[in-house]
Amino acid sequence: MTTTSSTALRTLGNSDLHLTPIGFGAWAIGGGNWDYGWGPQDDNESIEAIHRALDLGVNWIDTAAIYGLGHSEEVVSRALNTTSHKPYVFTKCSMRWDADRSIYRSLKTGSLAEEIEASLRRLGVETIDLYQIHWPMPEAEIEEGWETLARFQQQGKLRWIGVSNFNVAQMKRAQQIAPITSLQPPYSMLRRAIEEEILPFTQANNIGVINYSPMVSGLLTGKMSAERVAAMPADDWRHKAVEFNEPRLSRNLRLVELLREIGSSHSVPTSVEPGVVAVAWTLRNPAVTAAIVGGRSAAQVEGLAPALEFRLSDEGYARINTFLAENPV
């Protein structure tokens, strides 16, 4: 795996996976026309975005079967078939869909067996580097689901297994069956709930953390405005998200201007975008192994690539936290 010479790799939990500080998030490239879509997306632009991320040194990709109802995994496969890079590929299970595109959830053994085989086929691989339970639902099936993943890991189809969106009690239930390599939680300066109990638990138990939405689904990238939010496609799930609506939206856009100011005072080798500062804020937490950073075009990836190396100063970190404390919603 090619990485920039100055990018320090981070070991994910109890695994032998050595990750760059950011990975390519493939949710948005699943496209629209499903319940959690981001609106229309050009597949060729998605492939170019993945190629650019890999060329710049990113060494892992995170996707899920549910993203675009299988489409994201297919696009990732097309990208990997047209590059010499060999990144780690992570995907997720438990959210499924019917012929009418309605979504349901299952952690039953038979269902997960079907999901694993389908993901292997769509991704075009024989082994998945990290396979994660996407959501702990139905909660009563957590034990059955985790036992199933552990069995497929023993068979060699899954190298490492992790969880996503689990709380401490749910992780403890899984630990009684097999070790957890990683947790994938939402974490950003606007979503800090995991700091109190979950992150201390992962640290104490050598569970790696790859956080998603460090830029709050694009809100903190510096590319958003009230007008752009209003003009998002009707099938963009963010229309319903609390941070994209008032009264939070105005506060959040002012926060972005602070991130822009902080980013303009640093150089890697030039000033960095607000989104890079937002990612760096999450990487300041010692419990976080690496952050998922999405990109829908090569240009977006280039703007966020400095997050591979940019680190937030104590002063910048303090300024952000002061703003958040003084501007609650």
Point out the residues that are catalytic.
Answer: 67
Nearest to 305 by CA among 90, 117, 29, 58: 58
Query: 33 Cβ partners below 8 Å, 6+ apart?
Result: 101, 235
Structure tokens that stand for 10 in this block: 């981070």
Query: Do the bridges between strand 95-97 and strand 103-105 make them parallel or antiparallel, or are there none, so unpaired?
Result: antiparallel
Going by their DSSP bridges, the two strands 158-164 and 182-184 should be labelled as: parallel
Distance from C-alpha of 21 to C-alpha of 288, rounded to nearest angstrom: 9
Strands 103-105 and 128-133: unpaired
* DSSP label at residue 217: T
Nearest to 184 by CA among 156, 201, 164, 160: 164
Query: Of 122, 116, 119, nearest to 150 (Cα)?
Result: 116
The CA-CA-CA angle for residues 230, 66, 98, to 5°, reads 105
Contact 297, 48 (CB under 8 A): yes
Peptide bond into 247 cis (omega under 30): yes
Instruction: Give yes or no for a contact between 63 and 80, defined as CB atoms under 8 angstroms apart.
Output: no
